[in-house]
Amino acid sequence: MLVRSRIQFSIFVDRFIADSEEIAARLSICDGTSWASDAGLAAYEPDARVTRGDWTTINRENLAAELLANGGRSAHNLVRLVRLGSEHLRNLRELVAPLSNEAQRADARRELCRHALSITAALPELCGWRLASDPTHIGVSQGPGGSANTTVNGETGLHVGLHLDSFDRLPPEERRLGSNRLCVNLGEADRALQFVPVDASDILSMLRARDVAPASGWPHHQGRKLDLARAFLATYPDAPVVRLRLHPGEAYIAPTENMIHDGISEDANCPDVTMTVRGRFVPCGHGP
């Protein structure tokens, strides 16, 4: 059972895609993490952290009300669910095979960028958000289905588990100023975003409260110095992890530089296919 006095949510899910009841039905929670090695998982980094136990519905004990945003939030602490139109989805799916073909890849990448920018231009109408910068990355990723953690270290082939993105290379106190991402489920099955609902500055404060900081000695596991995300999850093993389910053709906008997260590909019979655009996505009416 989650110890509510220990964890204060500072990352929220935007409720305005639909009513609270529908959003709550997409959410579930796991009350803590463990080392992947202790869970008996192969092909994970030695210090990877993963969820422990089962996912349970989140609309118990008013947790849904605590997690759902009701206005007044901003890009750095908000996860937004987005539904794409069928034409956008069809155009993107038609590019998946050409992107894997060396002879067709260059043309397919140009088409991918064109369609991705068309989607970002439609975001104000689709979900009330906008891209307030040039995109820093547009790409399609393909992986096997049935994985509890989708992110893999490209150099080692090992799953990294729950993690913080660090493309912007910002210190913890400044991560809320970083970019975020739009990630589209192009597969034929549901997938999910899992995340710890605590932003990086609060993570640092909570570590300092336990005398965990570079000045006092950063923790290690199996001979490896832990990074910010893993140090937090090891220090607070009961920190909740939230799962937001996405149907095919849906996307999320999330501050992945500022919150611990990973993907989940839920159906082993369907490949996990996503398109990602990194940039500065903000709610309409907010400045850049």
**Residue 26, in any domain of the structure:** yes
**Residue 5, in any domain of the structure:** no
Task: Tell me what pLDDT residue 61 has.
Answer: 57
With 50 as the cut, is the pLDDT of residue 3 above it?
A: no
With 90 as the cut, is the pLDDT of residue 227 above it?
A: yes
Comparing CA positions, the residue from 245, 237, 249, 238 lying closest to residue 92 is 249
pLDDT tens across 16-29, in order?
655 666 777 889 99
With 90 as the cut, is the pLDDT of residue 89 above it?
A: yes
pLDDT above 70 as % of the chain: 92
**Residue 287, in any domain of the structure:** no
The CATH number assigned to the domain holding 215 equals: 2.60.120
CA pair distance 258, 36, nearest whole angstrom? 22
**Residue 2, in any domain of the structure:** no
Q: Which of 149-163, 166-180, 210-224, 232-246 has the lowest mean pLDDT?
A: 210-224
**Residue 174, in any domain of the structure:** yes
Q: Which domain holds residue 16?
A: 12-282
Task: Tell me what pLDDT residue 2 has.
Answer: 40
With 80 as the cut, is the pLDDT of residue 111 above it?
A: yes
**Residue 86, in any domain of the structure:** yes
Mean pLDDT for 100-120 is 97
Per the prediction, the chain carries an average pLDDT of 91
pLDDT tens across 39-72, in order?
999 999 999 999 998 899 876 556 777 888 876 6
pTM of the model: 0.94
Q: Which residue has the tokens 């199996």?
A: 222
Count of domains forming the chain: 1
**Residue 215, in any domain of the structure:** yes
**Residue 216, in any domain of the structure:** yes
